[in-house]
Amino acid sequence: MKSFELYDATSVQEAVALLSKFGPTSKVVAGGSDLVTGIMKDWVRGKGMPYPEKLIDITTIPEMVGIKVANNALTVGAATTLSSIVDSADIKKTWPILSQSAESVASPLIRNFATLGGNINQRPRCWFFRGENFACYKKGGDFCFAVTGDNRYHAIIGGELCYIVHPSDTATALLALNAKATIAGPSGQREVPFDTYFTGPREDVLRENLLKHDELLVNVTVPQPAANTRMAFFKLKDRQVYDFALCSVAAVFTEENGVWKDGRVVLGGVSPVPYRAKVVEEALAGKNIKQAAKDAAGRIRTVARPMSLNGYKVDIAVGLIERVLTSALV
């Protein structure tokens, strides 16, 4: 790995100023489990992805670390560790799927330094993207090797040009919880709903969210769930020990006497962005959830477009959606 300069930012403004000053070869770092021990260690770079030379540490910014519950909302600083989220009694009680999704990430050792912001903004796990010898679109190259290569872990929904899947478990839960992201940049801070935070390859294949190189995620705000809200999360991995999601499902919905009123069903590990399964939600509207779950889950087939080796993921998604919907009712 190449050496780098490390800057300890003491405020969000200072971090933004450093990013603006140093340009695209500077990156924000918190736990560094993906950036330093993944991207940089493995020399993941290309024409559209310069190797980081300057890292701006944001764990030294007090306002970016911590969990607060106020005004009927939860706010988690982007530099808060996943372990802190798992250990939070407030989160476990009111937003249990955020706690579960954080706990499903990696190992306890990694969760002790990996952060929420890092988990949301981590780069994809596509083995061609991570491989040094593949000049893929996501690195500024001119080919998607997954289209005609081994694509068993790639996108089954929404892939185009590039077929990565979004790797974040917490992002899946946060989108289902209707969370908002606070983004800081040279022109100040702005709030963006998670519905529009993630961007697909058509918008810009070089990134997975709307953060520009001189912007950073400051915190995430999650509203208090309405009365009669049910929620559940499940992540399926290819192996028993820690791994990324083959498919994960988060469901958050309100119901009355078992009938779906309103809610969200979100899938991770199947699409270039955390995927909100509106076809499933529409199929559940006004219906008895237990009775409609199987048919509604099957609706995901209408939007799925599997590749040559990953058709099995469609069956998994259908099964998991049904499982999560029914388990939320228990």
Partner 1 sequence: MSQNETTNGAEVSRRDFLKQGVAGVVALGSIGLGASNVLNRAAAPELQLSQGVVSPDPALCIGCLTCEVICSQVHKDHGLSDVPRIRIFNDGRVELNAELVKVYGDRGHFHQSPCLMCPEAECLRVCPANALVVEPKTGARIIDEKACIACGRCSQACPFPVQVESKATNQTVFGQHSRITYDPKKNVYTKCDLCNWRPEGPACVERCPVNVRIRQGIIKSDHLCLELPKASREHWDQQSVADRKQNA
Binding site for partner 1 (CB under 8 A): 142-144, 147-148, 159-161, 163, 201-202, 205, 303, 305-309, 311
For residue 222, what are the β-bridge partners?
74
Output 192 or 309, the one with its CB closest to partner 1: 309
Output 105 or 146, the one with its CB closest to partner 1: 146
- What does each C-alpha distance from 255 to 30, 176, 245 come to in angstroms? 39, 15, 28
In the bound complex, what is the minimum distance in angstroms from residue 201's beta carbon to partner 1?
6
In the bound complex, what is the minimum distance in angstroms from residue 48's beta carbon to partner 1?
11
In the bound complex, what is the minimum distance in angstroms from residue 267's beta carbon to partner 1?
16
In the bound complex, what is the minimum distance in angstroms from residue 202's beta carbon to partner 1?
5
Distance CA 131, CA 140 (A): 14
Asked if 163 and 147 touch (Cβ cutoff 8 Å), the reply is yes
Q: Is 210 helix (H, G, I), strand (E, B) or coil?
A: coil
Output 19 or 157, the one with its CB closest to partner 1: 157
In the bound complex, what is the minimum distance in angstroms from residue 58's beta carbon to partner 1?
32
Output 77 or 201, the one with its CB closest to partner 1: 201
Output 180 or 276, the one with its CB closest to partner 1: 276
Alpha helices for the chain (secondary structure H):
12-22, 82-87, 89-94, 96-103, 108-111, 116-121, 127-130, 145-148, 169-176, 194-197, 278-284, 289-298, 312-329
Distance CA 267, CA 276 (A): 6
